[in-house]
A and B are shown apart, each in its own frame.
Chain A
Amino acid sequence: MNERKLRQLLVASALDSPPAPPADFVARVTAATRREPAPAAPPGIAHQLELLFPRLAPVMLLVFGLCLAAYVGDALMPGPDLSDGVPQLSNQWDFPNPGF
């Protein structure tokens, strides 16, 4: 088929107009939707925030989680503090080597 004929075919086909929806189509669809669950209620504030800051919310949650984990870890495994060596130091001062 030559190009001109193909073009004519495509143009003519594009002009094929659709039928009008039947008069009862809206009623049919409405009746069908009544057999389905209703759409969900609008999302809460958490979802609204996520829409506004789509990437920030999970990052904030991650940072908060890491901070919380560090705090809990620190509380469970306390490290040395300044007062730990005081008894040894004071012993050294009070009881110098007698040099017997």
Chain B
Amino acid sequence: MANDDTELLEQIRSGSPDQFSELVRRHQARVFAILHRYERDAHLLQDLAQETFLKVWRALDQFDSSRAPFEHWLSRIAVHVALDHLRRRQRRITEVGLPQIGEEALNWLRHDGNGRELAARDAREILDAAFNHLSPAERLVITLMELEGRSVKETATLTGSSGVAVRVRAMRARRKLRAALARLEKETK
């Protein structure tokens, strides 16, 4: 697929812009998967995905396939679109209360979780409520490392930060996340 992407990019840059639709078709699922970690609303998610591909389109002449595969570059753009989105949203959020968490999620929070199942959707609701207490950059790092299982090096490459900065941010984010979750637990009891 990597070589196909390179050939496709050359065709697009050489005067066949319609081939870009094939590029979108190949990679749209990946972009949706990345952005879905940061936005659950379907319409906003589509807007962010479109924004990602438009940024790719505008920067196609700068992409150098000898430095990195296209999908890495695309992922990096998607991550930055997500970060910008979190920053814009943070300016609008003033307070997050328990009403954003459904009953099933609340029940899980109330109990010690021993053997109690937790659906993915409920887990997302709880985490999203806790994530509102983290900075966008902290949420990004925690999402990449804890939810997507990426290494420090991969996270640093995707975010454009140093490995040291990623480690420090991750440590700070974990601490804040625990504190936010502890507060949520306390509020449900």
Decide yes or no whether A46 CB sits under 8 A from chain B: no
Query: How far apart are the CA atoms of A2 and B112 in the complex, in Å?
Result: 8
Among A16-24, A61-69, A74-82, A91-99, the stretch that binds chain B is: A16-24
Report the count of interface residues on B (CB-CB < 8 A).
49
Decide yes or no whether B10 CB sits under 8 A from chain A: yes
Decide yes or no whether B185 CB sits under 8 A from chain A: yes
On whether the beta carbons of A22 and B120 are closer than 8 Å, the reply is no
On whether the beta carbons of A36 and B54 are closer than 8 Å, the reply is yes
Interface residues of A in 33-66 (CB under 8 A from B): 33, 36, 38-43, 51
Residues of B within 8 A of A16 (CB): 36, 120-121, 123-124
Decide yes or no whether A9 CB sits under 8 A from chain B: yes
Decide yes or no whether B103 CB sits under 8 A from chain A: no
Q: Residues on A close to B: CB < 8 A?
A: 1-2, 4-6, 8-10, 12-22, 25-30, 32-33, 36, 38-43, 51
A–B Cβ pairs within 8 angstroms, 10 of them: A18-B29, A18-B32, A25-B50, A29-B54, A32-B54, A36-B58, A39-B61, A41-B14, A41-B15, A42-B13
